[in-house]
Amino acid sequence: MNPLPPGGMPRISVVVVNWNRRELLRQCLDSLLNQTVGDVHICVVDNGSTDGSVELIELSYPGVRLVRNHDNRGFCAANNQGIFTSDCDLVALLNNDARAHPDWLRQLAAAFEGRPEVGMAASKILVAERPQVIDKVGHLIWPDGQNRGRGTGETDHGQYDQIEEVAWPDGCAAMYRRSMLDQIGGFDEDLFAYADDAELGLRARIAGWRCLYMPAAVVYHQRGATLGVASARRLVLIERNRVLLAVKLFPLSLLWLNPVYYGLRVLAGAWAAWRGEGETKHYAGWSGKLTMVTALLEGDRQALAMAPRMWAKRKEIARFRKLSPDQVRQLLRQYRIPLRTLSSQAS
């Protein structure tokens, strides 16, 4: 685990993945150009936008490097394009529907100073429309692979204002040590989008890297702007990818219990739906509930088809594994989200 070069602020690359969000992208880029850190290299990877996003960058942001895809390659592949064309010491990710506080990059970079074991840094992400409400301050996970933001939906009254270790950062606003990514690889492109940050984060933890949450690294996020919170496609990807994450990375002693934990989560979710809470409130009426059930079943069907490929990837983990299966299980227990919280939250 190589330390950062001594003396001065390390070189930082920021990758922004964009798909048809021209005006949100403008706000995002303006916030990055207003950072208090000097040596910042901004890269926008555009996934085939047709709304003038590319023209906006070319005309208004000449200093921003543009990678232009002809179609939507997904969050994972596009981020990897931006990450691995950079030679900076640190790589930050910022969603195109997020705005960063001017000191965001400086605060995240501070997590790595004198801490060679830290490979990831997490932001305090607030809801853009209601900045007194927390979107995410790191991640938690349920033992079936479903992961959610820590603190999601809570009013921010300083309860998360201390620097502390968390499981991993949310990909909306995160920073990674480039040498860590060189060691373990980037995002798993088979996931396309959703749960990708959890998969990368858990893979990094298995390799022995740690994550620090930096409360002064603040970002304002407009939630659900990409696919929409009530999108069936979004729900398919979330359900599919939580299974694939478990197949790829979970200890066998926990993996075989996956249906049990899934069943508990479904029952808790049904009870939350009865109370008008949780994910189901995005899917109104019986037609909405049918859409939700159909999406979950489709996600499971796709996961079953992709499971052999994910199982084969378990062998790749051996080359950099530092944590034993028992230690991974302990880590997942340490950062387990309470079932009551999980079922009442809306992702």
Residue 68 lies in a domain: no
Q: Which of 195, 175, 185, 198 is nearest to 84 (CA)?
A: 185
What CA–CA distance (Å, rounded) separates 316 from 339? 32
Residue 344 lies in a domain: yes
The CB density around residue 88, as the number of other CB atoms within 10 Å, is 17
Indicate the pLDDT class of residue 223, thresholds 50, 70 and 90: confident
pLDDT for 272: 75
Residue 82 lies in a domain: no
Taking only the tens place, the pLDDT of each residue in 142-167 is: 999 999 999 999 999 999 999 999 99
What CA–CA distance (Å, rounded) separates 24 from 41? 19
pLDDT at residue 241 greater than cutoff 90: yes
Residue 183 lies in a domain: yes
Domain around 296: 101-347
Residue 70 lies in a domain: no
Taking only the tens place, the pLDDT of each residue in 211-222 is: 999 999 999 999
What CA–CA distance (Å, rounded) separates 180 from 90? 10
pLDDT at residue 1 greater than cutoff 50: no
pLDDT at residue 246 greater than cutoff 90: yes
pLDDT at residue 3 greater than cutoff 60: no
Indicate the pLDDT class of residue 2, thresholds 50, 70 and 90: very low
| Chain centroid to CA 137 | 11
Which residues, including other chains, have CB under 8 Å from residue 276's CB and lie 6 or more apart?
Answer: none
Q: Return the CA Rg of the chain.
A: 19
What CA–CA distance (Å, rounded) separates 20 from 54? 9
Size of the chain, expressed as the number of residues it contains:
347
What CA–CA distance (Å, rounded) separates 43 from 37? 16
Three-state SS for the chain is CCCCCCCCCCCEEEEEEECCCHHHHHHHHHHHHCCCCCCEEEEEEEECCCCCHHHHHHHHCCCCEEEEECCCCHHHHHHHHHHCCCCCCEEEEECCCEEECCCHHHHHHHHHCCCCCEEEEEEEEEECCCCCEEEECCEEECCCCCEEECCCCCECCCCCCCCEECCCCCCCEEEEEHHHHHHHCCCCHHHCCCCHHHHHHHHHHHCCCEEEEEEEEEEEECCCCCCCCCCHHHHHHHHHHHHHHHHHHCCHHHHCCHHHHHHHHHHHHHHHHHCCCCHHHHCCHHHHHHHHHHHHHHHHHHHHHHHHHHHHHHHHHCCCCCCCHHHHHHHHHHCECCHHHHHHCCC
Instruction: Please provide the average confidence, as pLDDT, over all residues in the chain.
Output: 92
Indicate the pLDDT class of residue 203, thresholds 50, 70 and 90: very high
For the segment 225-240, the average pLDDT, to the nearest whole number, is: 77
Give the residues across from 99 on adjacent strands.
Answer: 220
% of residues, the chain, pLDDT over 70: 92
Which residues, including other chains, have CB under 8 Å from residue 195's CB and lie 6 or more apart?
Answer: 145, 147, 237, 238, 241, 242, 244, 245
pLDDT for 33: 97
Taking only the tens place, the pLDDT of each residue in 259-292 is: 999 999 989 887 777 776 766 656 666 677 788 8
Indicate the pLDDT class of residue 325, thresholds 50, 70 and 90: very high
| Model pTM score | 0.93
Q: Which of 199, 200, 225 is nearest to 98 (CA)?
A: 225
Taking only the tens place, the pLDDT of each residue in 88-145 is: 999 999 999 999 999 999 999 999 999 999 999 999 999 999 999 999 999 999 999 9
Residue 127 lies in a domain: yes
What CA–CA distance (Å, rounded) separates 249 from 104? 31
- Domain tally for the chain? 1
Cα three-residue angle 37-43-47, rounded to 5 degrees: 150
Residue 18 lies in a domain: no
Q: What's the token pair of residue 329?
A: 């299980």
Residue 126 lies in a domain: yes
pLDDT at residue 7 greater than cutoff 90: no
